[in-house]
Structure 1
Amino acid sequence: MENTTKKIEDILKKASGEKLDIACKIYREISVCAGHESEALEYLCSYSENEESSGEWIVDEEITEEEKHQYVSSYGKMIDGSLEALLRENLPVKEFYSKLWEMIQNNTILESEKKKAFALYYIWIDARIPYFELEEGLEMSNKEYREYIKTHEEVLKKARFILLTPTDQKTQRASRLVKLLDELSDEKEKAVLMAQILEMRAKSSGVVRIVKGKAAERREG
């Protein structure tokens, strides 16, 4: 396992080229790490995001642009759906990566090494990776939620104003919203306000991108 993580780290630190081709090399390293594949996958997903390559060597093209577009079109939604289903389970971290690796390896539609490497790549570029197990969030009925909104109309109006008013720095807007949250003493009040802020932010920004790079991938495909 240590040897595999070292090889993955070496690739990330030195390789230059298309990320999909880099993913092909990493996939092979993970797949031969018998008994520790999910741990190697976790290592890749958890520690690669901020790794910068020196570009000492260039990886060979393993998947052409035409193949890449075909794979995005044919398998992108399926991979997203499988990942989404796993995320909904809110599994412990080790179990999540174990099932994620099984999903890549055991999916009969991904019958070739190239397609499995593409699945690894498509998961790797997802903004919901690295994975975290989350604590149980606050739940309330729709009726109670609406009552909180009605009771705190002025606070919500102010939050909307803060979101839409131009500022010189993002931290100015953020600090004002934090202060607004701090003025509320009840956990449910804060949760409802935060939910409304997120909803307002999504509407003001148009479509919220939940995956990094995938919008461009699909446009190209």
Structure 2
Amino acid sequence: MTNANEKMNFLVSNAKANVNLAAVCFQLIKSAPVDERPKLLEDFFVGYKSTPTTGELKLPITISDEEEHKYMIRYGKLVDTHMEELQKQNLSEKDFYAQLWTFICESPVLPNDKARIIALFDCAIDKRLPYFKLDRDRVLSMENEEYQDICKQIGDDTFAKLEFILNGDFDQKTEQASLVVQMMDKMPDYTQRCVFLTRIIAHYKHELLRMHLKMSVDALADD
């Protein structure tokens, strides 16, 4: 482990996960040797999201709350768009982080260090990171008519049972998961299992949307 890695681990383990942590880590990555920067960037994103922190390390306030809001409005969408374009290229993990860092550190659309720190922070809080290269050559694709036909093969009763399980109350998550796996094991082929999984994904996307709407309504009510 390099000195930069050790510093990164110390920071994410002891400072609050916010824009000022991103500011310190931005300078740390920037000052590291060029060949280490992509891995440090990846480690920062992983650590920011998953590392428990004591919150005891007080970092300097590089960007105020007001500045964070202003810069996020101005540059957040630009950063999101560029990151999406990189992800569509299905690069290797190393190349993705190398190109993302080059954008954050050198792009003329980010005119100063505060804009670049906000770009790093915007990526750190994005649910689409950390990034992984996917084997898209082997993904299952089908037209809507074929999808609906397979849904009919699976049957409304099966999907109703699935919803009953997903909405059920269980003592342990594994109990719920095991019931879903039992249903999948009974399906005759890979295609049906994939279509079945789309219903599970749709269920939880709907739940997340419902939660976000409720939070928005509650926030408006508080105002």
Which TM class, normalised by the smaller chain length?
0.7 to 0.9
In structure 1, the residue matched to 2:203 is 200
Contact 1:38 1:97 in 2 (8 A): yes
Give the match for residue 20 of structure 1. 19
**Aligned-partner Cα distance in 1 for 2:50–2:172:** 24
* Higher relative contact order structure (alpha carbons within 8 Å, sequence separation ≥ 6): 1
Change (3 A) 1:187 1:8: same
- 2: CA distance between counterparts of 1:115 and 1:11? 21
- Equivalent pairs: percent with the same residue? 29
- Tell me how far 1:124 sits from its aligned partner: 1.1
TM-score, with structure 1 as normaliser: 0.84
CA, structure 1 residues 208+148, in 2 after alignment: closer, same or farther (shift >3 Å)? farther
Please tell me whether the aligned partners of residues 45 and 130 of structure 2 are also in contact (alpha carbons under 8 angstroms): yes
The question of 1:84 aligning with 2:84 is answered yes
Matched letter for residue 51 of structure 1:
T
1:177 match: 180
Q: 1:164 to 1:138 in 2, by over 3 A?
A: same
- Is the CA contact 2:22–2:117 (under 8 Å) kept in the aligned structure 1? yes
**Superposition TM-score, scaled by structure 2 size:** 0.83
Distance 1:175 1:18 in 2: 35
* 1:130-155 C-alpha deviation (Å, 9 max, x unpaired): 21112232122222211101111232
Which string of whole-angstrom CA distances, capped at 9 and with x for unpartnered residues, describes residues 26-82 of structure 1? Answer: 100111123222222122223443323344531011101110111121122222222
Q: Is the 8 A contact 2:8 2:25 kept in 1?
A: yes
Asked if residue 148 in structure 1 is aligned to residue 147 in structure 2, the reply is no
Q: Structure 1 regions of 5+ residues with no counterpart?
A: 210-214
> How far did 1:208 drift?
7.7
Amino acid in the other structure paired with 1:25: V
Q: Separation in 2 of the partners of 1:91 and 1:51?
A: 26
Q: 1:174 to 1:62 in 2, by over 3 A?
A: same
**Partner Cα distance (2:43, 2:124) in 1:** 11
Partners of 2:103 and 2:124 in 1: CA distance: 14
Among candidates 134, 138, 144, match of residue 140 of structure 2: 138
Tell me how far apart the structure 1 counterparts of residues 29 and 100 of structure 2 sit (CA, whole Å): 13
> Which secondary structure does the structure 1 equivalent of 2:130 belong to?
coil
* Structure 1 outlier segments of 4+, above 4 Å: none
For the 8 Å contact 2:48–2:124, the answer to whether it is kept is no
Structure 2: 5+ residue runs without aligned partners?
none
> Do the aligned partners of residues 200 and 72 (structure 1) sit closer, same or farther apart at CA in structure 2, a change above 3 Å counting?
same
Residues 11 and 22 of structure 1 are in contact (CA less than 8 Å); yes or no, is this contact kept in structure 2? yes
Identify the residue that residue 41 of structure 1 maps to in structure 2: 41
AA aligned opposite 1:11: L
Query: Residue 57 of structure 1 aligns to a residue in which SS?
Result: coil
1:158 counterpart residue number: 161
The 1:42/1:141 distance shift into structure 2, 3 A limit, reads same
Question: Does the 8 Å CA contact 1:202/1:208 hold for their aligned counterparts?
Answer: no
Provide the aligned length of Structure 1 versus Structure 2.
Answer: 211
